A = this chain, B = another copy of it.
Amino acid sequence: MIKYVSAGDSHGEMLVGILEGLPSGMQIDEDRINFYLSLRQKGYGRGRRMEIENDRVKIVSGLFDGKTTGAPLGIIIENRDFKLNKTRREFTVPRPGHSDYGGTVKYEFSNAAIPSERTSARSTAVDVAAGSLLLDYLKIFGVKIFFFVKSIGEVSKDINTIDEETFEKVISNDLFSLPEMYEDFKSAVDRAIEKRDTVGGEGVVVVKNVPPGIGGYGNFSDKLDGIIAQFVMSVPSVKYVEIGNFKPGVYGTEFHDEIFSNGKRIFRKTNSAGGIEGGVSNGEEIVVKFGFKPIPTVLKGINSVDLTDLSNKKSVYVRSDTCVVPAGTLVSAMRISIALSTVFSSQFGGDTVSDVSKNFDFWLSRRKKFWQR
């Protein structure tokens, strides 16, 4: 089964990920991984650190001639500013909204800068490497993952899906925005920059081509929606996760997606369920929405206390970004890539890419009455 774990501090020498359980024979596309790493780094409203770094993945094990061997992949991303920036951060006034306070209490630090070494967004770079690497695993099943920013600050556009062509446009702008929203989103970020403040927003991930019957309901931990919720809610700054379109005022007959058949597959004309019913996919697009709070490091500071003497102080400013919604949306998509990969690998098994592919094809062929590509 595919499993993933990571280590790495924001200002350490490198980030490290271990990705276990891939089948053998899978070609690794380092260029694509590096492309996704570069996507994470760009983003209108991100701070200067992004200019310094230029993340490159290095896979130190589990490959032979560029293909997986079934052995665990060691994934390394060096922190390029490690050599540039040797000044150690130290402060004792926690930033409201960050892990500074809770982490310092938990671990009894005298330096409130330590928790964010692990919790800052920097650690998500290796998640992006793992998640984008796994896009090739998901490709065995025909699955594709698209994403876009749905709102920044008060500016929002309520759409629930995009097509591949639009997705290409989304990832070619630095706000991962639908083209028509770009200027409005940019202005929303600019207003926050002007105020020396930060701004949040919302993202959407759309997973295409997941057949019905993926996930499970044996126990709560098998449910696809619950698994996705954990992977996304634990992305830095995420405060809510939604599957589909929750609307409190609608009745059952309005909410639920009527079932039709077109001879080729069973389908819906609506997607309130967001592709998951009862913990299991239903053959429609899986639509995951999530909201990011504004990041806690604000130029003008927020009222806080000095943990050494409990006196009132403004929180410190640490080199940071104004808006992480685009990068955070990408990270959430890559977390969903990891989540889905664990679920698919558990459901279809397989030692080699050929095994996995054949297991899936056979599975699908037995269910072709209900769903075909």
Contacts and interface: CB of A to CB of B under 8 A. Distances in A.
A279 interface: yes
A151 interface: yes
A326 interface: no
Contact of A217 (B64, B99, B359): B99
A230 B227 CA distance: 6
B239 A233 contact: no
A276 B240 CA distance: 12
A223 B236 CA distance: 10
Contacts of A80: none
A175 interface: no
B213 A105 contact: yes
Contacts of A359: 348-350, 355, 358-359, 362
A85 interface: no
A307 B370 contact: yes
A73 interface: yes
A192 B282 CA distance: 26
Contacts of A218: 20-21, 70-72, 118
A296 B153 contact: no
A172 to B, nearest CB: 24
Given A229-B229, A277-B98, A14 B74 contact: yes
A31 to B, nearest CB: 19
Contacts of A95: 256
A252 B201 CA distance: 11
Contacts of A74: 7-8, 12, 14-16
Interface string A298-328: 1010111101001010010000000000000
Nearest to A261: B310
A94 interface: yes
A327 to B, nearest CB: 16
A358 B351 contact: no
Interface stretch (A36-44, A109-117, A138-146, A176-184): A109-117
A285 interface: no
A106 B212 contact: yes
Contacts of A252: 97, 192, 197-200, 293-298, 302
Contact of A279 (B96, B99, B109, B227): B99
A4 to B, nearest CB: 9
Contacts of A258: 96, 302-304
Interface string A141-164: 000000000010110100000000
A260 to B, nearest CB: 7
Interface in A325-373: 335, 345-352, 354-355, 358-359, 362-363, 366-367, 369-371
B102 A212 contact: yes
A25 interface: yes
16 contacts: A12-B60, A20-B219, A70-B106, A70-B216, A71-B218, A72-B219, A96-B256, A102-B276, A103-B213, A197-B253, A221-B230, A259-B303, A259-B304, A259-B315, A307-B370, A349-B359
| Smallest CB-CB A-B distances: 5 pairs | A99-B278, A349-B349, A226-B234, A106-B213, A102-B280
